[in-house]
Amino acid sequence: MKFSAYTVRDWVYVALFGALWGTLEITLGAYLHVIFPPLANTFFSGLVMAGMGVVVALVGSYFVPRTGAVLSIGIITALLKAVSLGGVKVGPMVAILAGAVLMEVALLLKRVPASWRYVLAGSLAVSWNLPHKFVMMRLLYGKGFTEVYLQMIREGSQLLGLDMGYAVAIIGALFVVRLVVGAGAGWLAWELAGLVARRMGRE
């Protein structure tokens, strides 16, 4: 990662998109927890915020096509999340950084912008929300795999309207929805970035 290759304009874009993502996390993320309390701590809010984060970060990477750009945007976002009124919340910060790392890995496959890499990056970032629950519940609250799994099944059963006996189907459905939302967010970021670039006369 060669930060020396970054121009002043690159850093301005990184700061701008990091601040935008951070602002969404602080404002919209908080409202989602208030408006949708039954789903906010499980599936819905994480899906919405992860999708929006993907769009912001990948549009930013379009204008700063350099190694480490998405990760830098994610770091700024996590720092802003840490200083928000809600205080330091390790879970969301880890989710933001992990999503940024996964997007960065997908973009490293080839630095020339391509829509399929944006779709892949979005899918990886949003789908991380599923294993993230197991990792953070274990690290922060000491909950084991089985306990987190059963909690996820109960919540997924209520959300999808399926009997808990269809545990595998519930987990699979929750994962597939994340993949689809992530892919859609990546595609939207590609289209939006191209539109903005054309408006700015960069293409």
Give the pLDDT band (50/70/90) at residue 17. very high
Q: Distance between CA atoms of 16 and 43, rounded to whole angstroms?
A: 28
Arithmetic mean of pLDDT over the chain: 82
Under DSSP, is residue 184 helix (H, G, I), strand (E, B) or coil?
helix
Q: Distance between CA atoms of 183 and 117, rounded to whole angstroms?
A: 10
Q: What is the mean pLDDT of residues 173-187?
A: 93
Q: Is the Cα dihedral 87, 90, 91, 94 positive or negative?
A: positive
Q: What is the pLDDT of residues 73-130, one digit of tens each?
A: 999 999 998 887 665 677 788 889 999 999 999 998 766 667 899 999 999 999 988 7
3-199: which CATH number, 1.10.20, 3.30.565, 2.60.40, 1.10.1760? 1.10.1760
Q: How many alpha carbons fall within 13 Å on the CB side of residue 40?
A: 10
Provide Rg for the chain, Cα atoms: 17
Give residue 40's pLDDT.
Answer: 44
**How many angstroms separate the Cα of 79 from the Cα of each of 41, 137, 187?**
21, 21, 27
Q: What is the pLDDT of residues 26-70, one digit of tens each?
A: 888 767 766 655 544 557 777 888 999 999 999 999 999 888 999
Q: What is the mean pLDDT of residues 138-151?
A: 66
Give residue 58's pLDDT.
Answer: 96
Give the pLDDT band (50/70/90) at residue 155. confident
Helices and strands of the chain, counted as H and E runs = 9, 0
